Amino acid sequence: MIEFFLNGQRRRLAAAPDTSILELLRGPLAQHGTKEGCASGDCGACTVAIARPDDGAMAYHTLNACITPAHQLQGAHLVTVEGLARGDALHPAQASMVACHGSQCGFCTPGIVMSLFALHEQQRALPRQELDDHRLEAVLGGNLCRCTGYRPIRDAARSMGERTDTRPPWAEDPAFEQVVRDLFPTVAGEDQTGYLTPTTLAELIATMQRHPEARLVAGATDLWLEITQRLARFDAVIDLRQVEELRRIEEVADGWWVGAAVTYREWEPLLKTHYPAFAHLLTRLGSEQIRNRATVGGNIANASPIGDTPPVLLTLDATLRLAGPHGIREIPLESFFLDYKQTALAPGECIAAIFLPRPGDGYEQRVWKLSKRREDDISTLLGAFRWRLQDGTLRDVRVAYGGMAAIPLRVTAVEAALEGKAPDEESFGAARRALHQSLTPMSDARGSRDYRATAAANLLERWRLTLAHADLEEPTQEVTLDAYAD
């Protein structure tokens, strides 16, 4: 049984463990404003907003209803396009779309309005935060529109502050937030529907032993595609989002342990402070709807050769903490990936946390992602490079690629070719030869073997040129390629 609030009204109903929020809305809840477009979290037509008391302040974040488990609504407040207006008075997100002619066929409009609603809530909380191109792009990057064109939608976003600040009745009720909090936390246990919600790591391991067939889910941004795209059915699901040990970031003397169920949105402040190039990669790792949900543990456990975070983590010498029936063990990330979709996880084990070493003085990093779309797309190829310059030579060189083999991997031959060398044409020429001899790239729908080999070598050359033109007195952390790159 799921208990939650929908547009200010308390709801209680049962659902199978593999039911999505979208199915719940368009089925038993009969709320048809939220649309299904791609059913894979790409188009944004199904965008809704949610606030959970365990996030701290009741801040509203967008998500893709098509790939979010309905059971994760427990104790939360879900807002859909039907819940924004006050009678005939439109919310500023709606009024602006009307005034700026931001809709034609209207299919994608509810999702766009919900992204604008979340933006309006953020603006209300932080009115001095500038709505620049980067921020607006992040807000709307997960909403596709085939017929209107994006200029009027952008105009609508920028003009919301000019509209009457109409809020729905639930938003004006000062007691509503406490009512939602009183419904929290979720009651854990052996849900009769097969949706299992352990709250501690020990409970998680025990639950996995009792239900070895159950699928583990946190953000569901990849797992739920098995349901929507492959028509799989899950009789049992174990939710990781309430496991306390998996939801925290713990700082220690030499770095940070990041819980496997920490979302990219929650992880981003740490990265911005200490790993800015890595932080900027997140702007190209799915849409804001995805980053609000997806977890670093899921990106690693998925073991995709084109996952975005593993190559970067490999250059940072990351370590994994694995938990299972025989206790806790730690292994270097580079020992985790064995073959295509095969990992070092033993039966009954899961990823509990990822360790990021504290960056030393003088270290720099570059991360470049190549994909068919700049926004919200899977990598064709990703290169990550980390080093420090000492007396004009490269030291502690780390080079890793995704999309070049069956697994994301460090290329130690390239590292050896550059270690202790000056960053000149001769050294990088040797590095490119080492790359060519070490890897035979794969071919797939995103890129041929020859394209990937050429692109990977070109990223090495880009790195060399970056070093050649760098102001060594003021080292910079260049970020991933995007439209605003210098």
| Mean pLDDT in residue range 410-423 | 97
Closest CA to 31 of 14, 61, 6, 68: 6
DSSP 322: E
Query: Mean pLDDT over residues 279-305, rounded?
Result: 93
Backbone φ, ψ for residue 145 (5° rounding):
-135, 125
Last residue in a domain, options 156, 182, 208: 182
Report how many helices (DSSP H) and strands (DSSP E) the chain contains, helices first.
Answer: 17, 19
Residue 475 lies in a domain: yes
- Residue 244 belongs to a domain: no
pLDDT confidence of residue 406: 92
Q: What is the pLDDT of residues 94-120, one digit of tens each?
A: 999 999 999 999 999 999 999 999 999
Beta strands in 71-174 (DSSP E): 77-79
Within a domain: residue 157?
yes
- Mean pLDDT, rounded, for 273-302: 93
In the predicted structure, residue 475 carries a pLDDT above the cut 70 = no
- Whether 479 has a pLDDT exceeding 50, the answer reads no
239 is a domain residue: no
What are phi and psi for residue 335, nearest 5 degrees?
Answer: -90, -5
CA atoms within 13 A on the CB side of 358: 7
- Tell me which residue of 365, 360, 220 sits closest to 286, measured CA to CA: 220
Q: Which of 268, 272, 270, 262 is nearest to 293 (CA)?
A: 262
Instruction: Tell me how many domains the chain contains.
Output: 3
State the CATH number of the domain containing residue 271: 3.30.465.10
Average pLDDT, the chain: 92
pLDDT value at 378 more than 90: no
- pLDDT higher for 20 or 124? 20
Q: Which of 324, 357, 390 is the last residue of a domain?
A: 357
Q: Are residues 324 and 398 in the same domain?
A: no
pLDDT > 70: what percent of the chain? 95
